[in-house]
């Protein structure tokens, strides 16, 4: 993992995706804060007519964060990490540079079309797969171009050994490609029936089959967008920032293959107590429990990398981001399997405990790693010190406070919700009406929105710090080998 000073790495495409990660992070999370306040204060749904309602904005938030902020972060870090661990510059191949830039601009076009279509109410109504068929085709083209970049760069590499991060990026590419194509098999209704809008479509699957394919995709979109590439990032950024080698390279490989074989079978836990076959539900629950092993294998390996060097937490705020990200990963990957146990799921399903689980992972694990990764990249891409160490510290603590407010309020709300829904009186009738639960949960929904606001303010602080780093911070003559220089 020693950097080669003789190679002049070209970060043009990495910088493009860094900007899109920041912009789409602000957009996606701003919409998330808006809809959080809408749940607590429903009158906020009326400000912008049909285009400002929760139903229109919610998929823009989820897809904006998952496929905007997160995918941009994945691409930005790949175009940085890929060159460095393979010891080859993008500038050495005009073809690969063209492919990288083409991928970026097509990606931006697809994102813009997707946002407009969702705002107009055009949706296939499938979670994390709401886009109609023309947008799906655009997404597939963008993804194929990324695959060309990955394998093209691998093909001209100088470093013969593929570092573990490259394994995870390859798995991200292959996993999402397989999942997205099969889940989005759809029939354009106009071209089949001659009726309706040309861009409208229906799924090729129906009923329980559609549900099983959807959640095979939906949960593994979490696996191969929110987990696998983020592990790729931390296996690079933590050793490079701390100067410590990974605790166990063998454990990183063992965890890799464990994730690959186990994760793909766990999606059915979204369909417990539904019409899908009982053996599918049981298998999903079992594999979800087994999933703790490779997940914690990765997290423990990451944390043990800092063995004997915990003092760096005091001086380096980027190490704080990486270590707490791993801690949230451990928390989230224990909580998810617990929720997949049938008896627990009977209480938790459809409650606020579920978004609580999702967001301690996305905000703490995914968000912190992309933010921390781009902070590490910035001095090396722009050849300048990070503008303000104090601002990084303040951002870390503000966002950590926001995350804790978010998931604790949702834990309490979710468990309260589930127990109220199940409560019966002495005659077996429901003890509470639905509106009773709404009234009880209102303070927690408000707290969730405030916590999300704290996190969003931190994203603005991150954007400002990166902007000032790129434009006016102190220039550095020699690239730092480890800890990032901060003013």
Q: Does residue 103 lie in a domain region?
A: yes
Q: How far is CA 150 from the centre of its chain?
A: 20
Tokens at 384, concatenated: 């300048």
pLDDT in tens, 49-90: 899 999 999 999 999 999 999 999 999 999 999 999 999 999
Q: Does residue 440 lie in a domain region?
A: no
Q: Does residue 47 lie in a domain region?
A: yes
pLDDT in tens, 126-165: 999 999 999 999 999 999 999 999 999 999 999 999 999 9
Q: Does residue 476 lie in a domain region?
A: no
Burial of 159 (0-12, 13-18, 19+ CB in 10 A): middle
**CATH number of the domain that 40 lies in?**
1.20.210.10
Predicted TM-score of the model (pTM):
0.95
Taking 60 as the threshold, does the pLDDT of residue 412 lie above it?
yes
Domain total for the chain? 1
Q: What is the mean pLDDT of residues 335-355?
A: 95
Q: Does residue 192 lie in a domain region?
A: yes
Q: Does residue 109 lie in a domain region?
A: yes
Locus of tokens 């394919």 = 213
Using alpha carbons, select from 419, 466, 462 the residue that is nearest to residue 441. Answer: 419
Q: Does residue 264 lie in a domain region?
A: no
Locus of tokens 């701390």 = 242
Q: Does residue 89 lie in a domain region?
A: yes
Domain hosting 169: range is: 13-204
- The H or E element spanning position 203 is strand 201-203
The pLDDT assigned to 5 comes to 55
């Amino acid at each position: 993992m020693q950097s080669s000073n003789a190679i002049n790495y070209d970060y043009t495409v990495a910088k493009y995706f860094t900007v899109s990660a920041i912009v789409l992070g602000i957009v996606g999370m701003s919409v998330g804060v808006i809809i959080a306040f809408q749940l607590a204060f429903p009158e906020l749904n009326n400000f912008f007519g049909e285009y400002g309602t929760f139903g229109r904005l919610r998929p823009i938030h989820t897809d904006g964060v998952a496929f905007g902020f997160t995918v941009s972060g994945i691409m930005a870090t790949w175009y940085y990490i890929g060159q460095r661990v393979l010891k080859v510059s993008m500038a050495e191949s005009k073809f690969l540079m063209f492919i990288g830039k083409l991928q970026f601009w097509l990606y931006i076009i697809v994102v813009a079309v997707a946002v407009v279509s969702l705002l107009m109410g055009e949706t296939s109504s499938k979670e994390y797969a709401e886009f109609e068929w023309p947008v799906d085709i655009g997404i597939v083209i963008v993804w194929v171009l990324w695959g060309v970049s990955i394998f093209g760069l691998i093909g001209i590499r100088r470093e013969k050994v593929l570092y573990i991060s490259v394994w995870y990026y390859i798995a991200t590419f292959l996993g999402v490609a397989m999942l997205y194509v099969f889940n989005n098999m759809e029939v354009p209704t106009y071209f089949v029936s001659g009726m309706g809008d040309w861009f409208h479509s229906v799924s090729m699957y129906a009923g329980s089959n559609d549900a099983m394919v959807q959640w095979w995709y939906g949960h593994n979109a979490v696996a191969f967008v929110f987990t696998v590439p983020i592990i790729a990032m931390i296996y690079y950024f933590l050793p490079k920032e701390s100067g410590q080698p990974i605790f166990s390279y063998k454990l990183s490989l063992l965890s890799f293959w464990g994730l690959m074989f186990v994760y793909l079978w766990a999606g059915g836990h979204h369909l417990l107590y539904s019409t899908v076959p009982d053996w599918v539900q049981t298998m999903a629950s079992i594999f979800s429990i087994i999933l703790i092993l490779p997940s914690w294998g990765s997290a423990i390996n990451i944390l043990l990398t800092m063995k004997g060097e915990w003092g760096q937490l005091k001086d380096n705020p980027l190490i704080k981001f990486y270590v707490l990200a791993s801690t949230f990963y451990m928390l989230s990957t224990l909580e998810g399997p617990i929720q997949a146990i049938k008896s627990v799921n009977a209480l938790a399903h459809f409650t606020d405990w579920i978004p609580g689980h999702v967001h301690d992972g996305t905000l703490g694990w995914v968000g912190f790693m992309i933010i921390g990764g781009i902070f590490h990249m910035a001095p090396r891409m722009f050849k300048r010190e990070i503008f303000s160490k104090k601002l990084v510290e303040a951002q870390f603590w503000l966002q950590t406070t926001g995350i804790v407010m978010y998931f604790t309020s949702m834990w309490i709300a979710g468990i309260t919700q589930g127990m109220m829904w199940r409560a019966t009186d002495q005659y077996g009738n429901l003890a509470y009406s639905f509106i009773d639960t709404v009234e009880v949960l209102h303070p927690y929904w408000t707290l969730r929105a405030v916590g999300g606001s704290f996190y969003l303010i931190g994203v603005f602080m991150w954007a400002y710090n990166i902007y000032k780093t790129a434009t006016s911070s102190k220039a550095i003559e020699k690239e730092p080998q480890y800890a990032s220089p901060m003013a």
